[in-house]
Structure 1
Amino acid sequence: MKTKNILTLLFVAFMGIAAFSQNAERKNKLKFNSFSFTLPEFSIAKGLNIGLGVTLDASVSYNNHVFAFAYSVVDKSSSDGWFEDSSSIRFVQSNFLYGREFRSSEHFFIDIYAGIGFLNYDKKEQIFNGTGFLGLGSEKMDESASAIGFPVVMKFRYLFREHFSLGIRVAGNFNSVSNLASFGLLFQWNY
């Protein structure tokens, strides 16, 4: 049932983008559109309470269509102290996105993207079990997985200067490993 709802949401989003893409004509020219980074980025996923990360993305535009590549890394580490249990979780995403920019007012923009990407998940745990020399023996457990993901991204940004925008980036990645949701402060340079 979840998959059906996600596919319906993606279908409605793409149809909405297609409907709005019938606006004014522009020159048929591929040009560099923007470069942005999101820092700090807070992420939530299964087994990850709140992780901190960063996202970098670059985009090009052709008429009103925007094509972007986004790379994201999210980490969460925890430790109980020296010679105590510790764990770390890392999500790495590489996504190819298609989307549109919508001007809400003279300086406020909403960008909507959807696409396909690759997600890599690594979890490392070290559990001290009290065996070995001086009772400092430990057991390491590593887990990793990779999957194809379907990212959805929204940027709410305010154009401060001719080329600089500041805003909020909200994203989700639907995949078979662990669905990932994130949000963070967006800094974007527009060309």
Structure 2
Amino acid sequence: MTKETITDLESAADILKKGGVILYPTDTVWGIGCDATRPEAVARVYSIKHRVDSKAMISLVSDVAMLERWVNEIPEAAMQLAKVAVRPLTIIYDRPRGLAPGLLAPDGSAALRIASDEFCQSLCRRLRRPLVSTSANISGEPAPACFADISEEIKSAVDYVATSRRQQSESGARPSSVIKISDGGVIKIIRP
């Protein structure tokens, strides 16, 4: 990891710890993020995106150990699917704990993904909490595959814009697959 990337991570984590909102590269598309345990920050992300709060957002964790701290039970099927997934996989868990209420679906479940890239993993570790990860676009518009695709409205609405990976053009980048695994082992595909 370069010195510039470490400085970028430190700056982003500092803003997150103060309850701020950031724009950052994820393991899928560019995202808007905040500390997933802060209700005010989560509400602000919904506002920036012009998104109704009944449509829950995804949160990232750094690894399985972090996931275990925020989910009461991780079904074995979830771990098996995560190991064989060919692209980032978000899993909706039945009983998360400690997340902001605005991240919970009406049934009390929450979507979490173990980040698959070093930048996001490091950011989650520095924050020591799950990190909201929602595409950096106004709700209903296409998700930005690269930094150049992000609107000025989004860029100016956040407290910090990451400097890492701004020059990359990720023409094939797309959102993660999303599945829900209930405690009984029932699997439902939400987004292939």
**TM tier, smaller:** under 0.3
**TM-score normalised over the length of structure 2:** 0.27
Greater helix fraction, Structure 1 or Structure 2: 2
State which structure, 1 or 2, has the greater radius of gyration over its C-alpha atoms: 1
Bigger relative CO (Cα 8 Å, ≥ 6 apart): 2
**TM-score normalised over the length of structure 1:** 0.27
